[in-house]
Amino acid sequence: MCGGAQPSPGAIAGFNKKYRARGLNLRFVDIAGGGPPYDALKGLLSRRSQRCDVFFLDVDFVGEFAAPRWLLDATALVKPRKARFIPSTLTTARYRGRYVAVPATTDAGLLYYRSDRIATVPPRGRRSTPRRWPTAGSRTRGAVRGADL
């Protein structure tokens, strides 16, 4: 597995434990050498290097790496498992009608409030829990002075 930042050691150990009997072994190779990892990976792939079989790729680069056919068609691997993925995350793995990546991680922003900093009493009879993002933002700006929102 190639990349600029090592994934969780537990993930690599878990993979190796699960697939050792099949003769598969995953190890991490830092290809960046202190530079941009995507530049290093593009260099390896453009030279048809066999150094990396698996790599983490940010969704911003899927099209750039798929266009020169550096990414294999993974449709047969993904399609039977589509229900296991968050649909919006899975769309980032498609390029020109085929899956060229398999989502491994995702993230989401969370909105919460600290009742010690934001009053829970609704202003002028409104609901205490905002139903829309703009409402939550305006209440927060009004309640927390100096907040960077």
Domain range summary for the chain, segments of one domain joined by +: 1-56, 109-143
Quick check: 120 pLDDT over 70?
Answer: no
CB neighbour class for 120 (10 Å; exposed up to 12, middle 13-18, buried from 19): exposed
- Give residue 88's pLDDT band: very low, low, confident or very high (50, 70, 90): confident
Distance from C-alpha of 93 to C-alpha of 77, rounded to nearest angstrom: 12
pLDDT for 128 equals 66
Quick check: 81 pLDDT over 80?
Answer: yes
Distance from C-alpha of 52 to C-alpha of 45, rounded to nearest angstrom: 9
Distance from C-alpha of 30 to C-alpha of 5, rounded to nearest angstrom: 7
pLDDT for 142 equals 59
Closest by CA position to 86, among listed 100, 105, 65: 105
The string of DSSP letters for 31-62 reads -STTS-HHHHHHHHHHTT--S-S-B---GGGH
pLDDT for 93 equals 93
Closest by CA position to 54, among listed 12, 87, 82: 12
Q: What is the pLDDT of residues 35-48, one digit of tens each?
A: 788 888 898 899 99
The reply to whether the predicted model has a pTM over 0.85 is no
Quick check: 148 pLDDT over 60?
Answer: no
Q: Is the Cα torsion angle 130, 133, 134, 138 positive or negative in sign?
A: positive
CA distances from 115 to 112, 121, 127, 135 (A): 9, 10, 15, 17
